[in-house]
Chains A and B, each alone.
Chain A
Amino acid sequence: MNASMGAVERYTLTLPSPLEIVLTRNFAAPRALVFQAHTQPAHLVHWWGRTGSTLPVCEIDLRPGGAWRFVERQSDGREYGFRGTYREIVPPQRLVYTFEFEGTPGHVVLVSATFDEVDGMTRLTSRSRFHTAEDRNGMLQSGMEAGAAESCNRLEEYLAALS
């Protein structure tokens, strides 16, 4: 999947397993600011959402267990709702929350965002894991084993070839 991306020096994506998407991005700003940009509506309305969209609704209850809900309005007027729950809030280094598109309820992603300072930049590593029903029931604890790495890679190639 890396092959299709522009601006490779700033942006990478890997699929460590079919269930996990890791996005890495460097920002030219202190990490306290990058963290605030992720957690304060006054900042979020300026950037959250796809190109050309606005954020008419940006509700945040920033505490573990607190809910968030955003509505993204695209330039054609269509609106898309997103929601989730905060799991872990450790300013300015870590933010864990669930992410769900209201158009496809039940597809819950667990996002773990880590903010690191690297050479005066902030490196954001956003690890998204599709939250299966088994996860929610607490039955699946094993995660991705090293022994499966090769098959993961091959499956990843296969998925990449399909897309």
Chain B
Amino acid sequence: MRADPLSITFATLADPTRRAILSRLSSGQATVNELAQPFALSLPAISKHLKVLERAGLISRGRNAQWRPCRLKASPLKAVADWVEEYRRFWEASFDRLDEYLRELQSPEKTQAAPKGGPPRRRHRIAAPARTRPRRA
């Protein structure tokens, strides 16, 4: 399958150790030794994770050959956050509409005369018209 950046980020985040490393780096840069400390993992094992993170563009590493501090790169995480936000908005809007639709469906005065495609009676949470009254089932 196509390896697009968002899928790569998600796949990289699927590993709990890598997420823990990113969390640690969200409070500042760190060396490989510092990153290895909280884990019962060898330095080579940590280095392997760091390579995956670097390839995914989630961290960058310093130039200094001896020290090479790791640093979090925010943009792929921002892409994940944006995606999650868009997905959330999609369902929030749909569920708002479902809520209203279910109320209309069960409202006695609407059951006889509710032709498909009737006037839209959508209630928007953000700018609800003052006259909109909550309908009870």
Q: How far is the CB of B109 from chain A (nearest CB, A)?
A: 16
Contact between A47 and B98, CB atoms less than 8 A apart: yes
Partner among B1, B2, B11, B23 whose Cβ is within 8 Å of the Cβ of A155 = B23
Q: How far is the CB of A117 from chain B (nearest CB, A)?
A: 14
Q: How far is the CB of A106 from chain B (nearest CB, A)?
A: 5
Asked if A57 is an interface residue, CB under 8 A from chain B, the answer is no
| Chain B hits for A10, CB < 8 A | 99
Contact between A132 and B7, CB atoms less than 8 A apart: yes
Contact between B125 and A7, CB atoms less than 8 A apart: yes
- How many residues on chain B are close to A (CB under 8 Å)? 51
Known: A28-B137, A51-B97, A159-B84. A19 touches B78 (CB 8 A): no
Asked if B34 is an interface residue, CB under 8 A from chain A, the answer is no
| Chain B hits for A6, CB < 8 A | 125-126
Contact between B2 and A18, CB atoms less than 8 A apart: no
Asked if A33 is an interface residue, CB under 8 A from chain B, the answer is yes
Partner among A28, A52, A144, A155 whose Cβ is within 8 Å of the Cβ of B22 = A155
Contact count band on A: 35 or more
Q: How far is the CB of A142 from chain B (nearest CB, A)?
A: 8
| Chain B hits for A147, CB < 8 A | 16
The 8 A CB mask of B77-105 against A (1 = contact, 0 = none) is: 11011111101111111111111111101
A98 to B18, CA, bound (A): 26
Contact between B97 and A47, CB atoms less than 8 A apart: yes
Total A-B contacts with CB atoms under 8 angstroms apart: 143
Partner among A11, A21, A25 whose Cβ is within 8 Å of the Cβ of B87 = A21
Q: How far is the CB of A13 from chain B (nearest CB, A)?
A: 6
Asked if B20 is an interface residue, CB under 8 A from chain A, the answer is yes
| Chain A hits for B74, CB < 8 A | 162
Contact between B14 and A106, CB atoms less than 8 A apart: no
Question: Residue among B98, B103, B116 with the most chain A CB within 10 A?
Answer: B98
Partner among B13, B105, B124 whose Cβ is within 8 Å of the Cβ of A19 = B13
20 A–B contacts from the bound complex (CB under 8 Å): A1-B88, A7-B125, A18-B10, A21-B87, A28-B106, A29-B102, A37-B101, A37-B102, A45-B116, A46-B101, A47-B97, A104-B4, A147-B16, A148-B16, A150-B23, A151-B16, A154-B23, A154-B26, A162-B74, A163-B78
